[in-house]
Amino acid sequence: MPAAGNEFARYGGRTTCVQIMSEYLPPETILAVDAGTGIDLLGKKALTEGVKWAHVLFSHWHHDHTQGLLLCPPMFKEDFTFYLYGPEEHGYTPFKVYEALMQPPLFPVHFARVRHHFRQKPIRFPEAQAIVVHPEGGFKLLNVDELANAEKNEPAQLQIRQGKYPVEECLVIRMIRGNHPDRSISYRFEERPTGKVFVFMTDHENTDGISQDMRRHLKGTDVLVMDSQYSRHLYDEHTVGFGHSTPDYCVRIAAAAGTCGFLGLTHHDPFATDEAVDEVLEEAKAVADSIGYKGLIRALADNDEIEI
């Protein structure tokens, strides 16, 4: 849930929404992960900057990642199109989620009233699918086999809607399942022209060891933003199985990437005051010192921007 009050003023208390900015996105397009209450800032910006399309990739369907969209200003703007991507879980597609959330008496407007300016892209097999974005061609959700086959050709090109576009001009988004109740997806964004990689991993609980699949997902990461909800003590005493990470685990994941120069801690516990978040950050830094991780570590606040 969102947090408000003086003791939360420095880090802020909005729930998850992250915008990904890249010069390889098509014009007038916003790309974001999740639609928690942080989407209010993005929604206002979308209206003032002449944005027409928003592609929102959902990590999963828990309320803290979905509730902001209901009152996001472009929701009721007829000439604005939303593309909702997310895991198809327990038979819930993106539309089914919002049909459930937007209906009286839970919400005054039925989703059916706005559905005509929405499109959905359910993701059934995150590890076997990818999203490819080309600045002129647009977005395509495809199987990784199609991407791999395209990359075997010379020149390596992908069919996106009506045209063929070089893979090397694309932003390529890959996915992996997280360790979370009802499961979650972590998204990896790779700008092929620059080689820059950003990984966003929220609602993912500590695992024993780091799997080969996870290592592949992290390979070449420049910036990692990760769920660090609980201090190690709180986790060990009370929250094992709740689906969230600890700062020591985040540092180990960042170190496993080998190349990660920035670790951003996010998804702060809604009960954690600014001071408590500072303590989580200090815990992460102490672990980094002890294992020799040299990247910069910060606890992220509402509205923070990170540049790669």
Q: How far is the CB of 18 from Zn ion (least distance, A)?
A: 12
Q: How far is the CB of 277 from Zn ion (least distance, A)?
A: 16
Q: Which residue is nearest to Zn ion (CB)?
A: 62
Site for Zn ion contains 269 (CB under 5 A):
no
- Using the contact rule CB under 5 A, the part of the chain among 64-72, 120-128, 228-236, 257-265 near Zn ion is 64-72
Q: How far is CA 221 from CA 23, 123, 217, 295, in A?
A: 18, 23, 9, 12
Site for Zn ion contains 34 (CB under 5 A):
no
SS (H, E, C) 237-260: HHHCCCCCCCHHHHHHHHHHHCCC
Site for Zn ion contains 203 (CB under 5 A):
yes
- Using the contact rule CB under 5 A, the part of the chain among 72-80, 96-104, 151-159, 198-206 near Zn ion is 198-206
Site for Zn ion contains 268 (CB under 5 A):
no
Q: How far is the CB of 205 from Zn ion (least distance, A)?
A: 10
Q: How far is the CB of 176 from Zn ion (least distance, A)?
A: 16
* Choice between 69 and 158, CB closer to Zn ion: 69
Q: How far is CA 147 from CA 100, 108, 140, 169, in A?
A: 34, 43, 11, 13
Give me the residue label for tokens 């947090």. Answer: 3
Q: What stretches of the chain show up as alpha helix (H) in DSSP?
A: 39-48, 94-101, 144-152, 212-218, 232-234, 247-257, 274-291
Q: What are the beta bridge partners of residue 223?
A: 198, 262
Q: How many residues interact with Zn ion (rule CB under 5 A)? A: 3
* Choice between 165 and 200, CB closer to Zn ion: 200
| 137: Cβ contacts below 8 Å, ≥ 6 apart | 26, 158, 160, 161, 163, 165
In the chain, the N- to C-terminal Cα span, in Å, equals 30
- Using the contact rule CB under 5 A, the part of the chain among 20-28, 50-58, 157-165, 197-205 near Zn ion is 197-205
Site for Zn ion contains 177 (CB under 5 A):
no
Site for Zn ion contains 62 (CB under 5 A):
yes
Could you tell me which of 180, 86, 178 has the C-alpha nearest to residue 124?
86
Could you tell me which of 114, 118, 126 has the C-alpha nearest to residue 86?
126
Q: Indicate the helix (H) or strand (E) that contains 143.
A: strand 138-143
Q: How far is the CB of 297 from Zn ion (least distance, A)?
A: 21
- Using the contact rule CB under 5 A, the part of the chain among 43-51, 54-62, 215-223, 228-236 near Zn ion is 54-62
Q: How far is the CB of 172 from Zn ion (least distance, A)?
A: 25
Site for Zn ion contains 64 (CB under 5 A):
yes
- Using the contact rule CB under 5 A, the part of the chain among 22-30, 59-67, 154-162, 296-304 near Zn ion is 59-67
Helix-helix angle 247-257:274-291, to 10 degrees: 40
Distance CA 135, CA 189 (A): 15
State the CB neighbour count (10 A cutoff) for residue 56.
24
Q: How far is the CB of 182 from Zn ion (least distance, A)?
A: 7
* Choice between 1 and 112, CB closer to Zn ion: 1
Interface ranges with Zn ion (CB under 5 A): 62, 64, 203
